[in-house]
Amino acid sequence: MNLRCRFPPVVAGVVIGISMLLTFVTAGRGIGVSGTMTRLVATVQHWIYPELTEKSAYFGHYFAHGAHPLDNYLSYLMVGLLAGALVGSLSCGDFRLTVQRGPRISASSRLFLALIGGAITGFAARLARGCTSGQGLVGGAELSVGSWAFLLCIFIGGFGTAWFVRKQWI
Amino acid sequence: MDIVAPLVKTGLISEALNQWLAVPIGFIFGFGLYHAGFTDSRKIAQAFYLKDVGVPVVMFSAIVTGMLGLWILSLAGFIDTSKMYYLPTYLTPMAIGGVLFGIGMAIGGFCPGTAAASIATGRIDAMVFVLGFLGGSILFGDLFPVWGDFYNSDYHGVYRLDELFGVNLGLVIFFIVIAAVGGSLLMRWGQHLFWSTPPDQTMQPEQVLKYEAPLVGVALLIGFGLAFVPSAYFFGGSGEAEYYIIPKQQGPGPVRKRQRGPAVVVPPATAPAGTMLPAEGDEGC
């Protein structure tokens, strides 16, 4: 096993858990990713429809008092996340512009399904107030009932869907 | 031990330094995601076929690490949990969101964090996934009045598992450690049962065991120790912090909720340190 490039699952989990613990200790909050993406999309929409976005019931508060949506803790975290994954892949010679897909699916079908899956996940993350990291891992550590329900339901949804998209993956 | 954390809430570090510290913390997060193999959509999706159960094992380990760390530091009086931002529970929207999220993950092969990390490794399917994710987010935000009421329904405030089951907080921690270890072993057994050849040939079970067993042992020991600690000790020994006594299931919720108004009219995120920041509360992630 090449331990430099692939950690055993529990070891990798402990590394991710430590990053979460560090945000608890320094910031009093948790890690998160989807928040940055929502703020990014709000920023883009604000370029095109400034008034509409500022009056939006959901995106509006990002712009309250002239604030910039991306001037946020999670954006800094995202910069570090991208750098960490980039350094990891470069040091392992694994940086490649490629489409990851199962053996029985074409690249274009895979990309189409990635787009559809991304859209469903994006909607779901907003509805659940967070994604796997911000709602699942952080709320899981905080023993939040909602987060544990979210985690459980991810696996219900995932296992329930797996059979229908099996051609894509196995 | 004197309370020193959360560092930014106790004034030991400035707001600006706190934000800059997020960069190295994010680096560890991204580095961990890469080394977990989470930048590969196939590996993530294969979890739903029990073909590679690394994903849930990593998730369980991360939760257990963060959980033990948080509550031990709280027990030691190092971190003031009443100054932390806790995720509130909106049970039905979160459950429905979870089901949809799982469906999206099985189709798309990523969740947001892993997709972002995968983009940094050059993967095109991750870029397309994030495009879709941004589309889904903007759809939710722009048509918010359609599902706004549902989004804010079934509110329970900060609602922990120990309150749900009416048992010691430490006992819940111990149970989660047990469930994580047991669940991981069970899923590995399932993977072995259904798929004769493991997809990741580079992982030798003996080596994996050598690195994982001590960590699992330590977690079980700590969890066992915490199981006998009275709940109040986790909150500075003086009973629960005021923050925790928010009554639950009282219609639209306590004061915090009413601030938010009928259609999420949220006060600016410049509230004084130590109070809840509803702007954060609306994303959590």
Query: Which residues 83-142 of A are in CB contact (within 8 Å) with B?
Result: 83-89, 94-102, 110-111, 113-142
Element holding A109 (H helix, E strand): helix A107-127
Using DSSP's 3-state secondary structure scheme, residue B157 falls into: strand
Contacts of B199-207 with C-beta under 8 Å, sequence gap 24+, read B199/B43, B199/B46, B199/B51, B199/B52, B200/A6, B200/B37, B200/B43, B200/B52, B200/B54, B202/A1, B202/A2, B202/A6, B203/A1, B203/A6, B203/A8, B204/A1, B207/A1, B207/A3, B207/A8
Q: Is the peptide bond before B278 cis (omega within 30 degrees of 0)?
A: no
Q: Is residue A103 part of a domain?
A: yes
pLDDT for the residue numbered B239: 44
Spatial distance between the Cα atoms of A120 and A132, rounded to a whole number of angstroms? 14
Residue type, B72: I
Confidence category of residue B261, pLDDT binned at 50, 70, 90: very low
Residue B265 reports pLDDT greater than 80: no
Q: What is chain A's Cα-based Rg? A: 18
Chain position carrying tokens 């080596």: B207
Give the chain A residue nearest B261 (alpha carbons): A57
Q: Please tell me the total count of domains within chain A.
A: 1
Q: Is residue A53 part of a domain?
A: no
Q: Is residue A90 part of a domain?
A: no
Minimum-distance CB partner of B90 among A10, A140, A146: A146
Contacts of A43-49 with C-beta under 8 Å, sequence gap 24+, read A43/A68, A43/A69, A43/A70, A44/B134, A45/B138, A45/B142
Query: CB distance B120–A111 less than 8 Å?
Result: no
Looking at the DSSP assignment, which residues form a beta bridge with residue A144? B160
Q: Is residue A16 part of a domain?
A: no
Q: How far is B230 from chain A (nearest CA, A)?
A: 16
Across the A:B interface, residue pairs with CB atoms under 8 Å apart total 625
Query: CB distance A139–B130 less than 8 Å?
Result: no
Using DSSP's 3-state secondary structure scheme, residue B25 falls into: helix
Give the CA dihedral B216, B222, B224, B226, nearest 10 degrees: -150
How does pLDDT run across A56-105, given as a tens digit for each residue? 999 999 998 888 999 999 999 999 999 999 999 999 998 999 999 888 89
Q: Is residue A57 part of a domain?
A: no
* Burial of residue B146 (number of CB atoms within 10 Å: 0-12, 13-18, 19+): exposed
Task: Point out the residues of chain A with pLDDT beneath 70.
Answer: 1-3
Q: Is residue A86 part of a domain?
A: no
What is the ipTM for the molecules in this complex?
0.95
Using DSSP's 3-state secondary structure scheme, residue B255 falls into: helix
Residue B101 reports pLDDT greater than 90: yes
Query: CB distance A16–B88 less than 8 Å?
Result: no
Q: Is residue A118 part of a domain?
A: yes
Strands (E), chain B: 89-90, 155-157
Spatial distance between the Cα atoms of B150 and B131, rounded to a whole number of angstroms? 26
Q: Which residues of A touch B133 (CB under 8 A)?
A: 34, 37, 118-119, 121-122, 125
Q: How far is B254 from chain A (nearest CA, A)?
A: 18
Chain position carrying tokens 């050059």: B122
Q: How is A21-51 classified by DSSP, letter by letter?
A: HHHHHHHSS---SHHHHHHHHHHHHHHH-HH
Q: Which domain holds residue A127?
A: 98-170
Q: How far is A165 from chain B (nearest CA, A)?
A: 6
How does pLDDT run across B189-224, given as a tens digit for each residue? 998 888 876 555 556 778 888 899 999 999 999 999
- Tell whether the torsion through CA atoms of B105, B108, B109 and B115 is positive or negative: negative
Query: CB distance B25–A157 less than 8 Å?
Result: no
Task: Quote the tokens at residue B87.
Answer: 């995720």
Residue B248 reports pLDDT greater than 70: no
Looking at the DSSP assignment, which residues form a beta bridge with residue B157? B89
The answer to which of A142-156, B12-26, B57-71, B265-279 has the lowest mean pLDDT is B265-279
How does pLDDT run across B177-198, given as a tens digit for each residue? 999 999 999 998 998 888 876 5
Contact B42, A101 (CB under 8 A): yes
Q: Which residues of B touch A100 (CB under 8 A)?
A: 40-42, 109, 118, 123, 125-126
Spatial distance between the Cα atoms of B115 and B112, rounded to a whole number of angstroms? 5
Q: Which of A95, A99, A132 to mutate to test the interface with B (most CBs of B within 10 A)?
A: A132
Q: Which residues of A touch B21 (CB under 8 A)?
A: 22, 26-27
Kindly report the length of chain B.
285
Q: Is residue A33 part of a domain?
A: no
Contact B164, B89 (CB under 8 A): no
pLDDT for the residue numbered A143: 94
Average pLDDT of chain B is: 83
pLDDT for the residue numbered A69: 92
Residue type, B52: D
User: What is the arithmetic mean of pLDDT over B51-73?
Assistant: 94
